[in-house]
């Protein structure tokens, strides 16, 4: 079966789907992206991701090439062509193709829109959540606007690779004060001894995760108290539980930080219950 991607106005076989060498996403990282989880053919937290997409474009003054309905139509068609019911959709919009010059190109340059989809092994992901995962910690080397979902992910890439090479699944990024900002591709949470949920405040230092926001609403409805504040690596290691959230990992318990066990070293009851609550509502 041919796998399709959408590039700049056309659905093409995945292997033929390319952007121009002078696309500003390729040359400057002058582009934003979004990722939706797809479950049973439906986009999870669809509106939240569309709202963040619009915000990222606005912050960088890239013209929005489509309406929400327009994106929904294209994504629906991509999922249909790829017969994809469980996995993810990736969307990227760059400022477009123009002669290389750092300053914005002339008005009228069309943004480049790219869409791909990918199947995910849900059984493997569930097994991983059942076992819990390990994280390492590493300095946060990123810029000052991590709230914009740009494709400039080099520090995240290097951090994730370091995690994998250390036998872990994720890297928690640590700011110059020793406080955890977030994971390389996930938001970071801990559960205190008295059962409060702690996750860093959504300022310009972290991506405002859509799963994070969605889970905060659900957790509050379930009666949890949430503290939006930074926490140190030491506080996390001695916390009752730790976990991470993202569109693709949902809620995944963290059982080791830099090789040190969190709690009793097994997935905690709070993270496990929140994962179930999130999936039940999806």
C-alpha to C-alpha distances, 110 to 9, 63, 97, nearest whole angstrom: 11, 8, 7
Q: Judged by CB under 6 A, which stretch of 13-21, 107-115, 183-191, 192-200 contacts ligand PDD?
A: 183-191
Which of 236, 247, 262, 274 forms a contact with ligand PDD (CB under 6 A)? Answer: 247
Q: Judged by CB under 6 A, which stretch of 95-103, 159-167, 246-254, 270-278 contacts ligand PDD?
A: 246-254
Comparing CB distances to ligand PDD, the nearer of 35 and 60 is 35
Comparing CB distances to ligand PDD, the nearer of 94 and 156 is 156
- Collapse the DSSP code of 264 into the 3-class scheme (helix H, G, I; strand E, B; otherwise coil) and give the result: coil
Distance CA 280, CA 107 (A): 46
Distance CA 127, CA 147 (A): 31
180 within 8 A of 155, measured Cβ to Cβ: no
203 within 8 A of 214, measured Cβ to Cβ: no
Contact flag: residue 35 with ligand PDD (CB under 6 A): yes
Which of 30, 140, 182, 241 forms a contact with ligand PDD (CB under 6 A)? Answer: 182
Contact flag: residue 207 with ligand PDD (CB under 6 A): yes
Comparing CB distances to ligand PDD, the nearer of 98 and 159 is 159
Comparing CB distances to ligand PDD, the nearer of 82 and 156 is 156
Which of 82, 186, 199, 252 forms a contact with ligand PDD (CB under 6 A)? Answer: 186
Ordered DSSP codes for 189-235? EEE-TTS-EEE---STTS---HHHHHHHHHHHHTT--EEE---BHHH
Ordered DSSP codes for 22-37? TBHHHHH--EEEEEEE
Contact flag: residue 210 with ligand PDD (CB under 6 A): yes
267 within 8 A of 132, measured Cβ to Cβ: yes
Q: In what helix (H) or strand (E) does residue 236 lie, and over which residues does it extend? A: helix 233-237
Rounded-to-5 percentages of helix, strand, coil across the chain:
30, 30, 40
Largest CA distance in the chain: 59
Question: Rounded to the nearest whole angstrom, what is the least distance from the CB of residue 99 to ligand PDD in the complex?
Answer: 30
CB-neighbour burial class of residue 258 (10 A; exposed 0-12, middle 13-18, buried 19+) = middle
For residues 111-170, which are near ligand PDD according to CB under 6 A?
A: 156
Q: Judged by CB under 6 A, which stretch of 72-80, 99-107, 205-213, 220-228 contacts ligand PDD?
A: 205-213
Comparing CB distances to ligand PDD, the nearer of 133 and 210 is 210
> Across-strand partners of 251?
245
Question: Rounded to the nearest whole angstrom, what is the least distance from the CB of residue 219 to ligand PDD in the complex?
Answer: 14
Among 66, 118, 149, 160, which one carries the catalytic annotation?
Answer: 149
Comparing CB distances to ligand PDD, the nearer of 182 and 241 is 182
Distance CA 86, CA 134 (A): 25
Contact flag: residue 212 with ligand PDD (CB under 6 A): yes
- Concerning whether 149 is annotated as a catalytic residue, the answer is yes
Which of 92, 116, 246, 272 forms a contact with ligand PDD (CB under 6 A)? Answer: 246
Question: Rounded to the nearest whole angstrom, what is the least distance from the CB of residue 108 to ligand PDD in the complex?
Answer: 31
Contact set with ligand PDD (CB under 6 A): 35, 156, 182, 185-187, 207, 209-212, 245-248
């Amino acid at each position: 079966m041919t796998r399709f991607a959408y590039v700049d106005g056309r659905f093409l076989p995945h292997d033929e789907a390319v952007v121009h060498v002078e696309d500003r996403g390729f040359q400057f990282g002058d582009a934003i992206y979004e990722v939706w989880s797809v479950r049973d053919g439906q986009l999870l937290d669809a509106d939240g991701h569309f709202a963040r997409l619009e915000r990222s474009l606005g912050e960088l003054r890239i013209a929005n090439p489509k309406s929400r309905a327009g994106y929904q139509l294209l994504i629906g068609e991509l999922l249909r062509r790829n017969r994809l019911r469980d996995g993810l959709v990736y969307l990227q919009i760059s400022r477009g193709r123009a002669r290389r010059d750092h300053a914005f190109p002339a008005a009228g340059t069309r943004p480049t829109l790219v869409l791909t989809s990918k199947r995910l092994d849900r059984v493997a992901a569930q097994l991983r959540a059942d076992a819990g995962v390990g994280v390492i910690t590493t300095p946060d080397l990123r810029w000052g606007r991590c709230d914009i979902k740009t494709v400039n992910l080099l520090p995240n890439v290097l951090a994730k690779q370091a995690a994998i090479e250390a036998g872990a699944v994720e890297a928690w990024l640590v700011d110059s004060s020793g406080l955890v900002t977030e994971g390389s591709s996930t938001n970071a949470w801990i559960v205190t001894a008295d059962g409060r949920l702690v996750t860093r405040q959504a300022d310009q230092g972290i991506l405002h995760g859509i799963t994070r926001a969605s889970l905060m609403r659900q957790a509050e409805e379930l009666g949890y108290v949430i503290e939006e504040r930074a926490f140190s690596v030491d506080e996390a290691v001695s916390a009752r539980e730790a976990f991470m959230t993202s569109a693709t990992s949902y809620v995944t318990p963290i059982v080791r930080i830099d090789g040190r066990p969190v709690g009793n070293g097994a997935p905690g009851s709070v993270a496990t219950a929140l994962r179930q609550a999130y999936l039940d509502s999806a």
